[in-house]
Structure 1
Amino acid sequence: MEYYCSYQERCHVEVEQKMYQLAVPRNFHDTIIVHLIEHNFLNEERFAALFTISKFHQKSWGKNRIVNELKARHISTYLIQKSIQQLSDEEYRNTFLTLAEKTWASLIEKNKLKKQKKFCDTLLRKGWESDLVYEQAKLYSN
């Protein structure tokens, strides 16, 4: 389990799932997790921070998608908020504008309303805030 956690940042849920896959007896799970935490192999704060930064930079996810994915991994609300705060507003906005421009340019749709809907759906699925998406869609469709 140490190797599993040292290879890549993991959260408690992922470690639990891996132990089930490896058929580790249930009575050893808590002992193993405590050992991993004590030896700094498992740290949810570090996991949340790295997850947030990497999904933002590599996949251009918005805050909504990141928050939902962290909640699905049972990360505390405090750690989620702390990790989201590390994203600078300027970089967040610039990434959104770049992604919006690429997305609009890549859509091949002659019907303006259909193109606008596809644009909005794509960005909303990536977790960007609806007010940003709809505002940008109005700008592009004019």
Structure 2
Amino acid sequence: MPTITKITVQKKNTDRYNIYMDYGKGEEYAFSVDEDVLIKHQLKKGMELDEFSLNEIGYQDDIRKAYNRAIHYLSRRMRSETEVRKHLAEKEVEEPVIQEVIHKLYNYHFLNDEEFAAAFVRTQMNTSDKGKSLIRTELKEKGISPQLIEVALEEYPRDAEVAAAIRLCEKYSKKYARDSSKILKQKLEQMLMRKGFNFDIIQEAVSETEIDKEEDEELAALRFQAEKAKKKYANLPEFEYTQKMKQALFRKGFAFDLIEQFLSEEE
């Protein structure tokens, strides 16, 4: 039966030990183990190890290495169970070992999907411009259960979500200042939808934002859009030019009477 002949500390990693054994042909390096595994199995010089013991030691050491890898991964920020499982799987850790590691992480309170989800919602609420629907999708992608997601989203009160949507409307209304009031409203609604706000929040936020322009402001926006359209239709015959301009400006959300006013001024 193989016998341990020497145990030495690794130079670069003092928490791991090299085990040397005699398999009947003299001493040779056999394997390395973590300090915890060394202590747990009481490995020492002169100890005989059968095949079952060697397999068990190898399995326990795989768990320890994967556990250390998971702790390092978790040290950067909180993670969900699914994220940790995916990370270990990408490192080619076998499923039984991953299962043992996950169990240990829960026992030592390094994993808690409920706390993770609540913290994630608070972070997104305070540092991003996302609505609940988008945050819900992101939590789902991180493997959080639907039940825990809905509990976590309670961290994001409705008034805070409305305030976030209004801030976005105010920001983007400046960006789209040269659009008609109608198109501006459409763009704001589409933007808020992409950001993950629901219909009720969108309607409330848009209604709180000054979208309807004064006539002179709307006319200024129309002139800006008309200049771009003129480049496209400038070489057309007069009648066709006028019709194309009317159609283009109408599609841009301007009222017919304002379009007619502009075209009359242009003539």
Alpha-carbon distance, 1:132 to partner:
2.2
Which structure would you say has the larger Rg? 2
Letter in 2 for 1:88: P
Inter-partner Cα distance in structure 2 for 1:133 and 1:109:
21
* Residue matched to 2:159: 90
Instruction: Give the paired residue count.
Output: 142
SS in 1 for 2:102: helix
Which amino acid in 2 is paired with 1:14? E
What is the CA–CA distance in structure 2 between the aligned matches of 1:10 and 1:113, rounded to whole Å? 43
Residue of 7, 27, 32 corresponding to 2:101: 32
In 1, the alpha carbon distance for the partners of 2:113 and 2:93 equals: 22
* 1:141 matched to 2:211: yes
Deviates more, 1:68-77 or 1:122-131: 68-77
Normalized per residue, the structure richer in helix is: 1
* 1:15-64 C-alpha deviation (Å, 9 max, x unpaired): 11111221112221100111111111111011101111111211121111
Runs of at least 5 residues in structure 1 that lack an aligned partner in the other structure: none
Rounded to whole Å, the distance in 2 between the matches of 1:91 and 1:131 is 14
Give the 4+ runs in structure 1 shifted more than 4 A.
none
User: 2 CA distance for matches of 1:77 and 1:110?
Assistant: 40
SS in 2 for 1:61: coil
TM normalised by structure 2 equals 0.49
Superposed CA offset, 1:64-90 (max 9, x none): 111121122221222112111122333
Residues in 1 aligned to 2:77 and 2:194: alpha-carbon distance in whole angstroms: 26
**Bigger RCO of structures 1 and 2 (CA < 8 A, at least 6 apart):** 1
Percent of paired sites with the same residue? 25
Unaligned residue ranges in structure 2 (runs of 5+): 1-69, 213-267
Q: What is the root-mean-square deviation in Å for CA atoms of aligned residues?
A: 1.9
Distance 1:140 1:126 in 2: 20
Which of 28, 33, 48 pairs up with 2:117?
A: 48
Alignment-derived partner of residue 81 in structure 1: 150
Q: Could you tell me whether the CA contact under 8 Å between 1:107 and 1:115 is conserved in 2?
A: yes
User: Where does 1:95-106 land on structure 2 (aligned, <5 Å)?
Assistant: 95-106=164-175
Aligned to 2:86: 17
Q: Which structure shows the higher strand fraction?
A: 2
TM-score (norm 1): 0.87
Please say if residues 48 and 83 of structure 1, whose CA atoms lie closer than 8 Å, have aligned partners that are also in contact: yes
Alpha-carbon distance, 1:125 to partner: 0.9
Deviation, 1:136, is 3.5
Tell whether the 8 Å contact from 1:6 to 1:41 is kept in structure 2 after alignment.
Answer: no
